[in-house]
Amino acid sequence: MIFNIKTADIEPLRERAYGADKQGNIDPLVKKIVKAHGNDPTELLQILRRVQAEYRHIPQRAVELVATQLGISHGQVQGVSEFYSFLSTTPRGQYDIFLSDCIIDHLQGEPAVMAQLCNRLGVKPGQTRADGRVSVDHASCSGLCDQGPSGLVNGYPLTRLTLPRIDQIADLIERGAPLATWPQEFFAIADNLHKTGLILDPPLVPGKALEKAFATGLDGTLAEIGKSGLRGRGGAGFKTALKWKFCREEAGNRYVVCNADEGEPGTFKDRVLLQSHAHQVFEGMTLAAAIVDARQGYLYLRGEYLYLCEPLNRILEERRRLGLLGRKILGHKGFDFDIRLHLGAGAYICGEESALIESLEGKRGVPRNRPPYPVTQGYLGRPTVVNNVETFAAAAKIALNGGDWFAAVGTEKSKGSKILSISGDCARPGIYEYPFGTKIARILEDCGADQVIGVQIGGPSGTFIAPREFDRKLAFEDLATGGSFMIFNENRDVLAIARNFSHFFAHESCGFCTPCRVGTSLLKNCLDKICDGHGTAADLVELTELSRLIKTASHCGLGQTAANPVLSTLERFPHLYERRLREISFQPGFDLDGELEVARRLTGRDDAYAHLTQEE
């Protein structure tokens, strides 16, 4: 199925230069935006997204005004404005383009596409053109690896970018054509559903899981979810029934939050679930609300999936009409529950559940100290269930079909099935649902991958496995994954892959703790040095020491897994690293001779004595 974004849903490019009056006063519009969000500080990120869309940046005046109107500090507004990749404190272009920096998009030709785009538009990555027409930059994986190279223009996804298409896009931009008039196929997103299983097939008929849950009884339904052995699908694998039970035992208002901030490079299964199985996801959330007794739910949607907002809101509306949301759900007195969407703005860290909660509260996405855990003190300090999109989708089906139905599939410790986002060097990238326990070799065969040098399972934070391990299994106890499954063939450079991942983590570290804030940048610099041919044996030692420290001492999952790409490739392919090293014990991190270039230019010299060589 192809998901076509309705051009009517695309925000028309504004006719006026900016939403300001003749004197350039932005106050009335900014105040209006804040008011439209109920002057609610937890809506800060949503408000700033609107301001960004309106002015293509967050003007200083808007920072002051939003702070005053919301009664929060200037620093909080400034801090949030600078934290998220899709917000900017300096003006971006009328057409604001991000290309996905994911390794898979790279393999599909992103560097050439980026070069062409910059060349045609006369702009450099990270720059806004002097006339303000266009800005181009890199962003982390946009969740479209099965149809890349991909990118975003004013928040809307561009897929299957080719050089001819870039030419077309450049023409449209130079002409100032509104996005709504661009050819619709530019924005077409394929589902690429290749293999379905327990969760995906058949899709839930709206209301059926809730009806069954009330017929069984809520305690009984929780027991069924317990019996199913369902574990969180985001990667950590905590038992879902236990999480819901803990939350229910806490006093006070409770919340249900769906984590749709899938930012792990190479993951896009939640995109497809929300495109094609949204009812099932929302029903899972409503089921959780019934069981833990929550009144309000949030779906935290990653900023890259802006285009899903309108369709999802329509489905929420439909569910309200069907009596599946709102007051007295399915006629049950006292069961009132509703769901709101909350849009992220480009921060991988917000996939970490406590960072996600901070972001939901209108703050920078910095992970909290734990304990306390979200089930006891989550959103606004209240007990909160946070589960992955796929977990809710699975829970809904379990409520309908019973725990045994689900537990009959999978392994002893990993019950049921897992949805994979398969991308990279294979004939049929896309979505595949497999029973836990399936061997990697089988998966590679199904998607048409051969001459594989390795598979990155679980995304950059997961493991890079070599061909001799293809008999290993998909399971929490063997190869755990949130869903990312990236395939690389023998023509790929393993170090370039690790390097790309190290850049990703350095870019996405929130900066709260020292090991991750400084360590991920050091790791990136060290890999750059080795890949550029300046590495020595000493750098390999540094790489290993650093990796170990970042893994053990970091504050949250991001840091604890940020060195995995280095550690897992170093363990399996040490020769590939050693081959790049120079045969001296130490080489400075910079090019000694290159540093003299300015001096040579100034003195007009280029003779042998004006150059330095290191004794090898």
User: Is 533 one of the binding residues for other proteins (CB under 8 A)?
Assistant: no
User: Between residues 83 and 335, which has the closer beta carbon with respect to other proteins?
Assistant: 83
Can you tell me the distance from the alpha carbon of 54 to that of 82, in angstroms, rounded to the nearest whole number? Answer: 17
Can you tell me the distance from the alpha carbon of 53 to that of 155, in angstroms, rounded to the nearest whole number? Answer: 9
Least distance (Å) from other proteins to the CB of residue 238?
16
User: Is 549 one of the binding residues for other proteins (CB under 8 A)?
Assistant: yes
- Give the DSSP letter string of 344-404: --S-GGGGSHHHHHHHHTTS---PPPSSSPTTTS-GGGS-EEEEEHHHHHHHHHHHHH-HH
Q: Write down the residue that tokens 């504050």 correspond to.
A: 555
Position 379: which residue type?
Y
C-alpha R_g of the chain: 25
Among 177, 496, 553, 576, binds other proteins (CB under 8 A): 553
CA 268 to chain centre: 9
Least distance (Å) from other proteins to the CB of residue 599?
19
Q: Are 274 and 403 in contact (CB under 8 A)?
A: no
User: Between residues 82 and 167, which has the closer beta carbon with respect to other proteins?
Assistant: 82
Residue 370 CA neighbour count, 13 Å, CB half: 17
Q: What DSSP element (H or E) covers 134?
A: strand 134-139
Per-residue string for binding with other proteins, 579-608, x by CB under 8 A? ----------x-------------------
Taking the C-alpha atoms of 406, 408, 411 and 414 in order, what is their torsion angle to the nearest 10 degrees?
20
Among 12, 28, 75, 220, binds other proteins (CB under 8 A): 75
User: Is 236 one of the binding residues for other proteins (CB under 8 A)?
Assistant: no
Candidate segments 50-58, 168-176, 308-316, 512-520, binder of other proteins by CB under 8 A: 512-520
The structure tokens listed for 140 are 């982390």
CA 567 to chain centre: 23
Least distance (Å) from other proteins to the CB of residue 82?
4
SS3 17: coil
**Residues 352-411 close enough to bind other proteins by CB under 8 A:** 364, 369, 371
Candidate segments 127-135, 375-383, 480-488, 546-554, binder of other proteins by CB under 8 A: 546-554
The structure tokens listed for 67 are 């702070």
User: Is 88 one of the binding residues for other proteins (CB under 8 A)?
Assistant: no
User: Between residues 370 and 605, which has the closer beta carbon with respect to other proteins?
Assistant: 370
Q: What is the separation, in whole angstroms, between the first and last Cα of the chain?
A: 60
Residues touching other proteins, count (CB under 8 A): 41
User: Is 276 one of the binding residues for other proteins (CB under 8 A)?
Assistant: no
Among 287, 508, 543, 561, binds other proteins (CB under 8 A): 508
User: Is 347 one of the binding residues for other proteins (CB under 8 A)?
Assistant: yes
User: Between residues 89 and 296, which has the closer beta carbon with respect to other proteins?
Assistant: 89
User: Is 537 one of the binding residues for other proteins (CB under 8 A)?
Assistant: no
Binding site for other proteins (CB under 8 A): 64, 73-76, 78-79, 81-84, 347, 364, 369, 371, 506-515, 517-522, 525, 542, 545-546, 549, 552-555, 589
